[in-house]
Structure 1
Amino acid sequence: MNQMETERLMSMLSIYERRGREIGRQEGRNLGLIEVAKRMLEKGMKKEEVLELTGLSEEMLNELVRDYSLR
């Protein structure tokens, strides 16, 4: 492998590493929002309010309700 190929490979690895970090951060934010939504529902908040305040999709919220047997 020559110098140019090595540099190209290192650049690609750097891009993949950054993308992996971005995905990990997004997954962490989603898990946090899910936990907050779960607590909101447990406190008796309406699904519409939880959707508005968390920004979760209706599908995601319905899955949460189903998985945790919430309202």
Structure 2
Amino acid sequence: MRIRLTAGETVLNATLGDNTTARDFASLLPLTLQMNDLLRREKFGHLPRSLTAGGAARSSSPNASTSRLCRPSRPAPRS
């Protein structure tokens, strides 16, 4: 599935994998996230709910053009 990501004035096209987790993420769209900065190298945001984790391949070699969904080590704070 192709999706479009917008950050400020920048628009990027992306492709979601064909798995349960990607379909669950797609069910949240459209979605606006507040992004946080991590050491001026990475950005992260909290989804409104947990995603189904089954079926997603694990990646051990991310690069600058890859977006990843990482399971938090602790629950996201509730606002």
Q: What's the TM-score, normalizing by structure 1?
A: 0.21
Relative contact order (alpha carbons < 8 A, sep ≥ 6): 1 or 2 greater?
1
Instruction: Considering fraction of residues, name the structure with more helix.
Output: 1
Instruction: Considering fraction of residues, name the structure with more strand.
Output: 2
Q: Which structure has the larger Rg? A: 1
